[in-house]
Amino acid sequence: MRDAGCALHGQDGSAREFALTERDFRAIAGRVQAATGIVLGDAKRDLVYGRVSRRLRVLGCASFTEYLDHLDGPDAEHEHAALVNAITTNLTGFFREPHHFQTLSQDTIPALAGTDSRGGRLRIWSAGCSSGEEPYSIAMTMHQALPNLDRWDARILATDIDTDMIAAGSTGIYDAAKAAQIPPALRQRYVRPVDTDCVEMSPVLKSLIWFKPLNLLSSWPMRGPFDAIFCRNVVIYFDRTTQRTLFNRFAEMLRPEGWLFIGHSESLFGICDRFRHLGRTIYRKVR
């Protein structure tokens, strides 16, 4: 009887179009965790229903059970990617957690640049970049902090498991309302209107960023080392074992004394001892 109740109604008691049994929910949650590391507990049942039911409508499936059969069918690879895209949460914005960009501008980049006016190599990774607002914020900060940037071999790697978000970020086109989050001086310099509703990031910013799809739980094709890594509001969806593995892998990809920026509700305490905490979710590698 428990399955039937869960199948017909949401947690708020509203009627539902499709049946989502306990078995179906656990099967979908298991597949998502195996593929992405994202843990979907009971509190995420309505989220799973709301997002995955869209795939049922697109495919013409009558139930989640039928959808699970589809995930094992001839189009399995494509549909697993669509499932991941549906489940992943993409909450982001330009210059979100602004103290990180202040540190990047005033401490990180000057420490990397030193007194060498001839330029050098600079690599920053935006891991879990969503639709690209974070790497474009990094690019604006980098361009402002290094007036001689044209002398530098400077690049930003922007990765996300959601291929739709990577495609969106690559265009560099955003709602004008989102661009209002950018400080006015930077907006005037680096953002141009497309029409009354949309804006586009400048070519100089686009030239700094590589957008690539990447599952953080898979092998990483890049060699590094990176000078700084942004991985913010990503590991909150992982269990502690996965977090521990991921932060150790980040340490391996960072140069000595490299910088790590994480989300406001995240911490390395009790998880990874390879970084020194500088405060406000900012760390530096110690080993």
Cβ-in-10-Å burial (0-12, 13-18, 19+) of 137 comes to buried
Residues 6+ apart with CB under 8 A from 269: 277
CATH numbers and ranges of domains, the chain: 2-87 (1.10.155.10), 98-285 (3.40.50.150)
The residues assigned a catalytic role are 51, 160
Model pLDDT, residue 113: 84
Residues 6+ apart with CB under 8 A from 55: 61, 67, 79, 82, 83, 86
- Closest by Cα among 236, 262, 230 to 137: 230
Torsion of CA 181, 203, 225, 223, to 10 degrees: 120
Model pLDDT, residue 50: 96
Distance (Å, whole) CA 224 – CA 211: 16
Model pLDDT, residue 89: 78
Q: What is the pTM of this model?
A: 0.87
Model pLDDT, residue 7: 42
Contact status, residue 158 vs residue 132, Cβ threshold 8 Å: yes
- Closest by Cα among 100, 132, 133, 113 to 211: 132
- pLDDT per residue over 170-221, tens digit each? 999 999 999 999 999 999 999 999 999 999 999 999 999 999 999 999 999 9
Distance (Å, whole) CA 252 – CA 246: 10
Residues of the chain with pLDDT under 50: 1-9, 12-13
Name residue, tokens 């306990």.
22
